[in-house]
Amino acid sequence: MVPDLQRIVLNLKEFFVTLALAMKDPTTLKSEHDTSLLYATAALFEKLSPYLEFNIVPAQTRFDLFKNGTSYCYFVRNGWFSIHHSADPVLLGTLQLPGIIGIGGAIPESAGLYIESKVESEVAMTTVPEMHALINELDLWEMLSKHIFRMTGSIFTKGVLLTGNSSYEIIRFHLIELMNEPEEIRNITVAVTYVQQKTRLSRSTIMKMLAQLKQGGYVTLENGILKKVHKLPLKY
């Protein structure tokens, strides 16, 4: 087998192991496989950063992934960006640091995806064709494939959680996601608002569930801010 093809096959095997773990319990914290894929994203970011121009942007700055017939990708070094769909008010997710989005070039214009800075942030922007040419020049296709596998796994996991699961399971998943956000971001984010923006659950349902979890000692909330998640039951 060709060496490059062997590496891709191994990456696929790792990816499907990650998906299998997610299907057993999509709300578990990162496994060794997840950590490996996350490292690949960080390594890709490090390799490409010297060729990028980073700029500081204020909060509420919007960047489209497809605009005027051109696909764009973004690299976030500091700050906090949320991911949105222009035709839907639901918050799709947030970018972990270091953050890369759009680099695969597979997002169609009809998707209407964009990112928005929630705080002052540091970001670099380039077109997808330019970035693919650079990746080819630096022979970084394996790193790119791992990054794409990680993003695909994340989308799959969220899809599992948001389809056919109870309100509690959805809330549980997003509480763990919020707990994994950087502390400086978590400390300015009201838990009920975070969950509501990322789901179609009513505010009253979320507030009732959070109150029950707090009373049961499963979470620590101070003025609506999530301070700590204790061992959350799979069912409630």
Domain boundary among the residues 162, 183, 203 is at 162
Taking the CB of residue 146, how many other CB atoms lie within 10 A of it? 23
Q: Does residue 236 lie in a domain region?
A: no
pLDDT confidence of residue 28: 44
The whole-number pLDDT of residue 21 equals 44
Are 110 and 141 within one domain?
Answer: yes
Tokens read off for 148: 């794409």
Alpha-carbon span 131 to 45, nearest angstrom: 12
Q: What is the pLDDT of residue 226?
A: 95
Q: Residue 208 belongs to what domain range? A: 167-229
Neighbours of 87 (CB within 10 A): 8
| Shared domain check, 141 and 112 | yes
Q: How many domains does the chain fold into?
A: 2
**Residue 150 near residue 38 (C-beta atoms within 8 A):** yes
What's the pLDDT at 159?
Answer: 63
Q: What is the CATH number of the domain that holds 20?
A: 2.60.120.10
Question: What average pLDDT values come out for the chain (236 residues) when binned by 10 residues?
Answer: 43 46 43 57 92 96 91 94 77 84 83 89 96 95 85 66 74 88 86 88 93 93 93 81
Asked if residues 143 and 8 have their Cβ atoms less than 8 Å apart, the reply is no
Task: Tell me which of 162, 186, 209 is where a domain ends.
Answer: 162
Instruction: Report whether 129 contacts 104 (CB < 8 A).
Output: no
Greatest CA separation for the chain: 58
